[in-house]
């Protein structure tokens, strides 16, 4: 009986050991190595194969980098994330579905319905310096027979996605995510390099579209955490010849005013107040 007990206990121990080893055994999967925004092409240096415990690997985890390099993301990717097939798309149109949740979230935060507005831009218009999830100001320079002004058209706008143009020689199409005007005379800096998708209200989208037809649209990135929406006066062509008056920082002016106390000031209540 003693020998039988030893045999059964040894078998139970071996079975438990095998179960534990199976749970923690390493499985090669594709892991994200650097940030990739939604609707962006996945470069080769953004992913790598690493070994992860079986228990932590999703069912649809990607096992080879060849499956994802050159394809588009549906949502943003962050380092150390195990890449899943549901996160990638074969083309930009498939990846558009990935920004829907972000658009709904922003609409809820703003308390008003927002739309995904696609805008073709080149490097001179800020295409290379903007990134998904970044806040930007939309600056317009509008020219017509009766107006010549520039200024912030729509402040504090979220960039939903950014899609590089695959064929730089093409002039764009009339529809789809790559659609829109490609007037090279208006887009100073050459042909559009890609499309930036912005979260705009229908009214702001109409204003941007009209300003784009009358002049040039550019995106200006805001500092991280800068959510202030201040009124910015438009600049006309005649204002260029006027001298710029330096604006004093209100906080600094207040501190200086508090430090300037007259030397002969008498305390309230008289000189003999104790």
- Distance, in Å, from the CA atom of 162 to the CA atom of 208, rounded to the nearest integer, reads 18
- Collapsing DSSP to helix, strand or coil, 75 comes out as coil
- Cβ(103)–Cβ(75) below 8 Å: no
- Mean pLDDT calculated for residue range 179-207: 72
- Cβ(103)–Cβ(190) below 8 Å: no
Query: Residue 180 above 50 pLDDT?
Result: no
- Cβ(216)–Cβ(186) below 8 Å: yes
- What share of the chain in percent tops pLDDT 90? 24
Query: Residue 168 above 50 pLDDT?
Result: no
- Distance, in Å, from the CA atom of 158 to the CA atom of 41, rounded to the nearest integer, reads 20
- Cβ(140)–Cβ(157) below 8 Å: no
Which pLDDT belongs to residue 266? 47
The H-assigned helical ranges of 173-237 are 202-214
Q: Which residue from 154, 272, 164 is spatially nearest to 207, judged by alpha carbons?
A: 154
Q: What is the pLDDT of residues 22-62, one digit of tens each?
A: 545 678 999 999 988 767 789 999 999 999 888 888 888 99
Instruction: Report the run of H or E that residue 201 belongs to, with start and end.
Output: none
Query: Residue 101 above 80 pLDDT?
Result: no
Which pLDDT belongs to residue 58? 85
Query: Residues 198, 199, 204, 205: what is their CA dihedral angle, to the nearest 10 degrees?
Result: 60
- Cβ(44)–Cβ(69) below 8 Å: yes
- Mean pLDDT calculated for residue range 174-191: 44
Which pLDDT belongs to residue 156? 92
Which pLDDT belongs to residue 179? 35
């Amino acid at each position: 009986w003693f020998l039988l007990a030893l045999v059964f206990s040894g078998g139970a121990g071996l079975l438990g050991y095998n179960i534990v080893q199976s749970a923690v055994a390493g499985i090669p999967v594709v892991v994200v190595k650097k940030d990739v925004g939604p609707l962006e092409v996945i470069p080769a240096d953004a992913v790598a194969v690493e070994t992860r415990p079986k228990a932590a690997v999703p069912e649809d985890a990607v096992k080879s980098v060849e499956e994802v390099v050159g394809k588009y993301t549906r949502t943003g990717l962050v380092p150390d994330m195990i890449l899943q097939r549901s996160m990638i798309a074969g083309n930009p149109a498939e990846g558009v579905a990935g920004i829907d949740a972000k658009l709904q979230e922003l609409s809820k935060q703003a308390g008003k319905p927002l739309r995904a507005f696609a805008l073709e831009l080149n490097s001179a218009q800020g295409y290379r310096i903007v990134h998904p999830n970044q806040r930007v100001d939309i600056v317009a320079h509008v020219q017509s027979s009766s107006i010549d002004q520039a200024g912030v058209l729509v402040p504090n706008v979220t960039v939903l996605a950014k899609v590089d143009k695959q064929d730089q020689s093409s002039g764009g199409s009339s529809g789809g995510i790559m659609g829109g005007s490609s007037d090279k005379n208006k887009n100073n800096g050459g042909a559009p390099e890609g499309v930036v998708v912005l979260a705009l209200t229908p009214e702001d989208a109409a204003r941007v579209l009209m300003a784009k037809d009358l002049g040039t649209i550019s995106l200006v990135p805001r500092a991280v955490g800068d959510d202030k929406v201040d009124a910015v006066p438009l600049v006309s062509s005649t204002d260029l010849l006027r001298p710029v008056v330096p604006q004093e920082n209100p906080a600094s002016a207040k501190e200086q005013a508090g430090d300037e106390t007259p030397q002969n000031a008498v305390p309230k209540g008289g000189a003999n107040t104790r």
